[in-house]
């Protein structure tokens, strides 16, 4: 059997894809031929321009749909508005760092809603579409923090462990169908989310930016290098290929060896 990496004719919906990993995945899936639907909670000209750039660069259909992934009804509406969803990438995510007694309850609720509950809502609407189409891929963007823990990231770590559990359940509910569900677990990738943590960490440890990157962040990553958004996109494209037909219910770490330690 020849392996097929061509995603022409498929449509991918990627939540939280106007920056970072989500945008990187959208670009790589489009390069593999998939039409893409970008999303975030904003609705700026720049958001729509990103979709236009992808369409121009890869010759696929690309559009941007505003929907707030902290709200269950908007998560469901995103998939309805997309109309087709062969590939669902649950990627939207936020982060907050604080010890549990000081962790604002509203931040806990927002992180659980955006990083975990949104994937439940989108999957609930996407699965019937995939069943109708006779093919589907659900890819949840978890984290090395979905498999390990560290202090002060309680909500993020709970949400990422939760999405690994949701991934396995989705895989078992679709196991006898041509639908797979997997989680990608990135280590550190230098996106706006990680950039936003650097100033506070510099203050906390009284370190330079270079030292925070080298001695705090990449200390956890044996490769001593950031992973890239292109590598996340390539991993998603691999899972969408026929090479991925029997890969379901698993986590794929793209973390430079973090979780091997
Ligand atoms: P990012 O900040 O660049 O991207 C986050 C995306 O989520 C953005 O597009 C943002 O607009 C969107 N988003 C935030 N709130 C939203 C909401 N309410 N509704 C819709 N969209 C919303 O950060 P990133 O690093 O690219 O993160 C993407 C995913 O990868 C997240 O789930 C994150 O937890 C995960 N991740 C990132 C890293 C890393 O090192 N960067 C590591 C492990 C996991």
pLDDT number for residue 3: 85
Classify residue 51: in a domain, yes or no. Answer: yes
Active site residue 156: yes
pLDDT number for residue 81: 98
ipTM of the complex: 0.99
Does one domain contain both 106 and 217?
A: no
Say yes or no: CB of residue 235 within 6 Å of ligand 1: no
Say yes or no: CB of residue 189 within 6 Å of ligand 1: yes
What pTM does this model have? 0.98
pLDDT number for residue 1: 76
Does one domain contain both 92 and 195?
A: no
Give residue-wise pLDDT tens across range 203-252.
999 999 999 999 999 999 999 999 999 999 999 999 999 999 999 999 99
Q: What gap in Å lies between CA 165 and CA 233, rounded to an integer?
A: 22
Range of the domain at 55: 11-189+227-260
Q: In the structure, what pLDDT confidence band is assigned to residue 49 with cuts at 50, 70 and 90? A: very high
**Nearest-CA residue for atom 3 of ligand 1:** 20
Classify residue 2: in a domain, yes or no. Answer: no
Instruction: Report the number of distinct structural domains present in the chain.
Output: 2
> CATH number of the domain that 50 lies in?
3.40.50.720
Q: Which of 13, 14, 17, 22 to mutate to test the pocket of ligand 1 (most atoms within 8 A of CB)?
A: 22
Q: What gap in Å lies between CA 144 and CA 196, rounded to an integer?
A: 18
């Amino acid at each position: 059997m020849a392996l097929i990496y061509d995603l022409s004719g498929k449509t991918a919906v990627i939540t939280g894809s106007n920056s970072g990993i989500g945008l990187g995945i959208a670009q790589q899936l489009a390069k593999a031929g998939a039409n893409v639907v970008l999303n975030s909670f904003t609705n700026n000209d720049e958001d729509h321009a990103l979709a236009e750039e992808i369409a121009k660069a890869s010759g696929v259909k690309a559009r941007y749909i505003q929907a707030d992934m902290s709200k269950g009804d908007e998560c469901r509406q995103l998939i309805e508005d997309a109309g087709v969803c062969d590939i669902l990438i649950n990627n939207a995510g936020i982060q907050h760092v604080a010890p549990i007694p000081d962790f604002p309850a509203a931040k806990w609720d927002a992180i659980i809603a955006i990083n975990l509950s949104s994937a439940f809502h989108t999957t609930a609407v996407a699965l019937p579409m995939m069943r109708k189409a006779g093919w589907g891929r659900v890819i949840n963007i978890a984290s090395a923090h979905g498999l390990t823990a560290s202090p002060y990231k309680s909500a993020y770590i709970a949400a990422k462990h939760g999405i690994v559990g949701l991934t396995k359940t989705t895989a078992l509910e679709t196991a006898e169908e041509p639908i797979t569900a997997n989680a990608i677990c990135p280590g550190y990738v230098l996106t706006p989310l990680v950039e936003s943590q650097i100033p506070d960490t510099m203050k906390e440890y009284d370190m330079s930016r270079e030292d925070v990157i080298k001695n705090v962040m990449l200390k956890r990553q044996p490769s001593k290098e950031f992973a890239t958004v292109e590598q996340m996109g390539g991993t998603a494209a691999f899972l969408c290929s026929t090479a991925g037909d029997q890969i379901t219910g698993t986590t794929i770490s793209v973390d430079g060896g973090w979780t091997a330690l």
